[in-house]
Chains A and B, each alone.
Chain A
Amino acid sequence: MTDQQRQMADYIMNQLIRRPGILVEETTPLVSSGLIDSLLLVDILQKLEDVTGTRIPAGKVRAADLDTIQLMFATAARVGRPRAR
């Protein structure tokens, strides 16, 4: 994992899942496995924007696009836009 991916994984494990023993790797399914519910997707999206320094339009993102750390960064690269200063 890159540093950015590690930041995301740590955030998801420590702030969202908060269940000792569950390890989030690059390809760990999060939404489809029931580890993350839909009400937490906004937290993932906001954190992803902060980590990548982009703005990600929610209308271009489906829950499946955020299912793994790998998919999250691919999504940010695909639809992320420079953040307005």
Chain B
Amino acid sequence: MSRPDPSAPAPQSPDAELPPYETLIDALLAAPHGKPFVTMWRDEDDSETVDFGRFRELVFAQAAFLRSVGVQPQDRVILIMDQGIPLMATFAAAFHLGAAPAILAYPNLKMDPAKYRFGLAGVSANLKARLAVLDEKFPEALLGHVGLEGGAAFVRALNAPPHVSAPPPSHARADQLAFIQHSAGTTGLQKGVGLTHRAVLSHLRRLAPALALSPSDRIYSWLPLYHDMGLIACFMLPLVFHLELVMQSPNDWVMQPSSMLELIDNRRCSLAWVPNFAFQFLARRVRPRDRSFDLSSLRALINCSEPVRASSIDEFRSTYQDCGLASTAVQSCYAMAETVFAATQSDLTRPPTRAWINSEIIRKQHRAEPVSSADPAAVCFVSSGRPIPGVEIRIDTPAGSQGIGEILIRSESMFSGYFNRPDLTALALQDGWYRSGDLGFELDGELYVTGRKKDMIIVAGENIYPQDVEEIVSGHPAIHDGRVVAFGRFDPEAGTEEIVVVAEVNSEEQLAETLRFELEIRNSIMGQLGIAVRRIYLKAPKWVVKSTAGKPARSSTRDKLLLEHDELRPAGGTRNGK
């Protein structure tokens, strides 16, 4: 991870066979007509497959429809559609026309209409969107609340658009925005990452050799398409390299996790990406009687988008060791939308490297000093691999070599800034380096991610800003305004973080009603953010620790809560993977 010599020639991509496409549409046009592209699987009697030829027809038909409702080159188009082939075709249709589509998460159950209106208005204002496309399942109750800024219209998506005999002309250009991805957060914190066709193609060209991609690869995915892992690894990658994709919706998978392994088995899938929690979820939530899979086709199941935990990987491996899982099948990478996707990738020919580090030196000196795994102070970290060609990684640390610090990234195909947000761009991009906000260290050229500098909470791969949760809790009439702290706590049972909220009530007497207030607060958070908070602690006035500026100090309040509540402390210490 040392800085490459700037005078050295750029690494040569071993993948010389991919034609020099200028745009993603060029790649789609070059795809073999009859080769299956997407299978959308819902259950055993509800599944749809389209080949590349049919997908192209759908893209052209959707493009004709978008053009008929006024979409022009360089417009932004918001897509709020359920996971599936119509969403994918509409997305590609928008960039075919030279517009930049942005997929937003589907409104959750019981979304608060006022909050939804506010959030959508904020995003559309930031994007200066021409149009929002909603599918037929979009909740009727929210229809009247689709408020777009600047006179932008919304239309209902066409699930089966009429065939067009001549495709509308493509206005996609290499250096135009191909699409915009949104990060977590509500209006104030939403960040749109705009990526050009050139950036996406360049990144995928360099990623492919690290994945040893071959035309026979078949990708499985349940990942949402508004997330970089779902969009880039499981839609753009197969589109550009003409691979098959077997997909289901995140909701269907989470209710029946065994379906993922059944599909990998039945369709002989070779590649998949999932966040860390999924490894434990698959190990614990698939009933033993359902575990008769043949997973021998799986070349790489890549742990991505949450800190990689040795314990989660080991649990998955031991649960499915009799299912033909290759010893090298579980892999890791470090990815984010700002670098298009994976900045690093583990070596697929061996299991990801593990490093045993002295936990006391981490705490006291912020350095990663390797020790024996038998050392009582040893803590295990799993490598996220080496930078892919064209990506440089630097650890910003005063502690010298092996120091733990913020991970900075520079790449040939990095984003150039957050859409219409120069303020946020200036914070994130400094001297050509992207400040990831994640902490890590480098050892023998491999990257190890240890935590986050930012306060972001990652629940099952979803990024959540604590400020969004705190604002909602503060709005409850019994809560002392501003005396709220939300933070993430790793839940070893779930293999991911859970959200913990601690808040002060206005008066001691109100503590008698904590159960009622808790239920009301849960209800509000679900209605506004669509997330369930497992732990809410209501405390007497003046309990929350304040900073010298008089604001709640998140870290000190968290420490105080952990001291008071045994159930929040990990059993048997804090070691990872032991």
Residues of A within 8 A of B (CB): 19, 21-22, 29, 31-39, 41-43, 45-46, 57-64, 67
Contacts and interface: CB of A to CB of B under 8 A. Distances in A.
A33 B256 contact: no
Nearest to B45: A57
Given A21-B515, A36-B532, A59-B43, A45 B109 contact: no
A22 B254 contact: no
20 contacts: A31-B109, A31-B532, A32-B526, A32-B527, A34-B522, A34-B523, A34-B526, A34-B532, A35-B522, A42-B254, A42-B285, A45-B256, A58-B252, A59-B41, A59-B42, A59-B256, A60-B43, A61-B255, A62-B251, A67-B109
Interface string B489-532: 00000100000000000000000000100110011011100011
A63 B277 CA distance: 20
Contacts of B281: 39
Contacts of A39: 254, 277, 281, 460, 494
Nearest to B522: A34
A36 B41 CA distance: 26
Contacts, number: 80
A37 B534 contact: yes
Question: How many residues of B sit at the interface, in one of the four size bands?
Answer: 35 or more
Q: Which of B109, B281, B533 has the most CB of A within 10 A?
A: B109
Nearest to A61: B255
Contacts of A61: 255
B522 A33 contact: yes
Interface in B130-160: none
B17 interface: no
A61 B251 CA distance: 9
Contacts of A62: 109, 251
Nearest to B42: A59
A38 to B, nearest CB: 5
Contact of B109 (A22, A58, A64): A64
A16 to B, nearest CB: 10
A59 B525 contact: no
A54 B515 CA distance: 35
Interface of B: 41-46, 108-110, 248, 251-252, 254-257, 259, 277, 281, 285, 287, 460, 494, 515, 518-519, 522-523, 525-527, 531-534
A32 B287 contact: no
B523 A58 contact: no
A48 to B, nearest CB: 11
B285 A33 contact: no
Contacts of A33: 519, 522-523, 526
B144 to A, nearest CB: 19
Contact of B257 (A22, A42, A63): A42
Nearest to B255: A58
Contacts of A21: 515
Contacts of B257: 42
Nearest to A45: B255
A63 B109 contact: yes
B256 A42 contact: yes
A33 to B, nearest CB: 5
A67 to B, nearest CB: 7
Given A34-B525, A57-B44, 17 more contacts: A22-B515, A22-B519, A32-B109, A32-B523, A34-B523, A35-B532, A38-B532, A39-B460, A41-B254, A42-B256, A57-B256, A58-B252, A58-B259, A59-B259, A62-B109, A62-B251, A63-B109
Contacts of B43: 57-60
Contacts of B45: 57
Contacts of B531: 34, 37
B42 A38 contact: no
A64 B45 CA distance: 22
Nearest to B250: A38
B254 to A, nearest CB: 5
A59 B287 contact: no
Nearest to B47: A59
Given A33-B526, A58-B43, A59-B46, A42 B255 contact: yes
Given A32-B109, A59-B43, A38 B254 contact: yes
B95 to A, nearest CB: 29
Nearest to A62: B251
A36 B110 CA distance: 13
A61 B252 CA distance: 8
A46 B532 CA distance: 20
B567 to A, nearest CB: 10
A38 B42 CA distance: 18
A32 B255 CA distance: 16
B202 to A, nearest CB: 36
A37 B287 CA distance: 20
A39 B285 CA distance: 10
Given A32-B526, A33-B526, A58-B256, A46 B110 contact: no
Contacts of A59: 41-43, 46, 248, 252, 256, 259
A10 to B, nearest CB: 19
A31 B108 CA distance: 10
Contacts of A63: 108-109, 251, 255
B519 A41 contact: no
A15 B109 CA distance: 23
A33 B494 CA distance: 21
Contacts of A38: 251, 254, 460, 532
